[in-house]
Amino acid sequence: MSDLRILIADGHELMRRGVRSLLEAEAGWTVVGEAANGQELVEKTEKLRPDVVVLDISMPRLNGLEAAHRIKKILPEVKILILSMHDSEQMVRSVLDAGARGYIAKSDTARDLVIAIEALRRNKTFFTPKVDQLVLDSFLRSESTKKTLQDPLTSRQREIVQLLTEGKTSKEVATLLNLSIKTIETHRANIMKRLHCHSFSDLVFYAIRNNIIHL
């Protein structure tokens, strides 16, 4: 298995040290740097270009969600795992909209950190168990208020949804499907409109609920 380069960001040195210890125990995984605040994280991401960024959602100077947004603009292919002491449905949506595909409670770090990063490197999502339940409850509420339902997407559209929600950029999807970026962007706009999705997190929730991607 190929090496994995990881950047850690947390406002507390003790937490960074603990995370680093867990990660460096894995063969082939290298922590390439640490950041103590969101602004420093964005700068180091641009400089070090890691494969995975593990960041605290609450950081000085620039919070984790805003830092994640900026990182995805700089390095779209990077995998982002967010650590937090809080969990709610709205928080999960915010995390997904920020471009992260992993979200674990700080209290679960020792148990879930390595598993979460391994899932992300395989282009899967990972949510801490309590958040999994929040997502499931959201789906159940959504299904109880919707009257749908035949699959509104074509086979090609489902394929594009899968690639996008796995974290691939429009350019990467275009290359994989041998289509132009403009065509992919048009498909994406049509898909969002057809599914009545108002944000990328809505699209991710649709993909999970319809077994296009899996937690």
Domains of the chain: 4-128 (3.40.50.2300), 146-209 (1.10.10.10)
pLDDT surpassing 80 at residue 122? yes
> Residue 43: its pLDDT value, please?
96
Sheet of 52-56, strand order: 29-35, 4-9, 52-56, 79-84, 102-105, 126-127
What does the alpha-carbon distance between residue 86 and residue 42 come to, in Å, rounded to a whole number?
A: 23
Alpha helices in the chain (DSSP H): 13-24, 38-48, 64-74, 89-97, 109-121, 129-145, 155-165, 170-177, 181-195, 200-209
Which residues lie closer than 8 Å to 160 by C-beta, 6 or more apart? 173, 177, 184, 187, 188, 191
pLDDT surpassing 90 at residue 92? no
Q: What's the whole-model pTM score?
A: 0.68
Which residues lie closer than 8 Å to 23 by C-beta, 6 or more apart? 6, 8, 29, 31, 54, 113, 114, 117
What does the alpha-carbon distance between residue 118 and residue 102 come to, in Å, rounded to a whole number?
A: 10
Mean pLDDT value across the chain: 86
pLDDT digits (tens, 9 = 90+) for 27-80: 999 999 999 999 999 999 999 999 999 999 888 888 898 899 999 999 999 999
